Structure 1
Amino acid sequence: MIRLLISLFLLFICTDLKSQSQNREPKSFEAFPIKSEDIKLDGKLDDTFWSDVTGISDFLVQEPVEGGEPTEKTTVKVAYDENYLYIGAIFYDSNPDGIKAFKMRKDAPLNTDDRFMWILDTYLDGRNAYFFEINPRGLMGDGLLTIGQGRSLNKDWDGIWRPWTYIGDFGWSAEIRIPFHTLNFDPKTGTWGINFQRTIRRKMKKFYGRA
């Protein structure tokens, strides 16, 4: 069983969150174990196993006013089998025609696009982590985050993983598959740190996973 800790200190790409999150206790949940033959990924989260996975929906606004309630709902679910970590997310949007997804080149900065970003701290040390992001069209970005005297994101790292996305009248959704072999971690411990962030570009708002 993989146990995940949602902790705001993992959002160390955001200096203000790092300082504030040190006073917060991380919230934990367990990723849901599944059988690989149950899986058909297309971005829609319509596989039956997803209905058994508890979703995380208590996001808060990060920008423009930190700590407020989001105007759009976000639900994230995490599952795994013996080979892969799976993340499923639904990004509800009351105006799906306003979804922004322009970028098409891998690792392009998503400063004009809606996006979903997540961070995996597989050693739970608060110093090193894997950075991932997608836009609603499935554009991929990834890198290695480190923090010490400062912080840095090395986008030369290219992980082996794949997203599937879908845009509908509800908003957009994504299913992500990350092979365990693309990540370094201690197999003797099943506790990782994880955090999520959603950006709605037209509203200039960012939501983060509540801790």
Structure 2
Amino acid sequence: MKRTAHSRVLILLVSHLGGFSLANPSAAQESPGVTLQALPLEVDLNLDGRILEESWFSAVPITDFTQQEPVEGGVPSEETEIRVLFD
């Protein structure tokens, strides 16, 4: 009984994921393929909302975002920058 229930859940999940990718096939084709570079931490960070540590400035920022709503692919109304570090 449990095996049948698990099989049904798996089938439903796979069918919904497949339908999602077919619903918007152009989204995958339009993506430019951004590469993210994550750098290792050299010193501990103080997570206080201020970016003062030198490690943040050595991390390569990603800034070329587009919005999804209200206009898909439009220029964002706010400037956004992401930098990734890991320990």
- Name the TM-score, length of structure 2 as normaliser: 0.61
1:60 match: 66
Unaligned runs of 5+ in 1: 1-11, 82-211
1:193 match: none
2:36 match: 29
Q: Which has the higher helix share?
A: 2
2:86 equivalent to 1:80 = yes
Mapped to 2, the partners of 1:59 and 1:46 lie a distance apart of 24
> Runs (4+) of structure 1 moved beyond 4 Å?
15-18
Q: Which has the higher strand share?
A: 1
Higher-Rg member (1/2): 2
Per-residue displacement from partner, 1:57-85 (whole Å, max 9, x unpaired)? 1111110111111121011110112xxxx
Aligned to 1:38, which of 44, 58, 81?
44
Task: Quickly say closer, same or farther: Cα 1:52–1:68, change in 2 above 3 A.
Answer: same
Mapped to 2, the partners of 1:47 and 1:62 lie a distance apart of 32
Instruction: Please list, as runs of the form range in 1=range in 2, the aligned pairs for 1:22-171 lying within 5 A after superposition.
Output: 22-23=28-29, 24-35=31-42, 37-81=43-87
Task: Quickly say closer, same or farther: Cα 1:44–1:19, change in 2 above 3 A.
Answer: farther
Q: How many residues align?
A: 67
Cα RMSD between the aligned structures? 2.5
Residue 21 of structure 1: how far off its partner (Å): 3.0
- Name the TM-score, length of structure 1 as normaliser: 0.28
Per-residue displacement from partner, 1:157-211 (whole Å, max 9, x unpaired)? xxxxxxxxxxxxxxxxxxxxxxxxxxxxxxxxxxxxxxxxxxxxxxxxxxxxxxx
Q: Which amino acid aligns with 1:53?
A: A
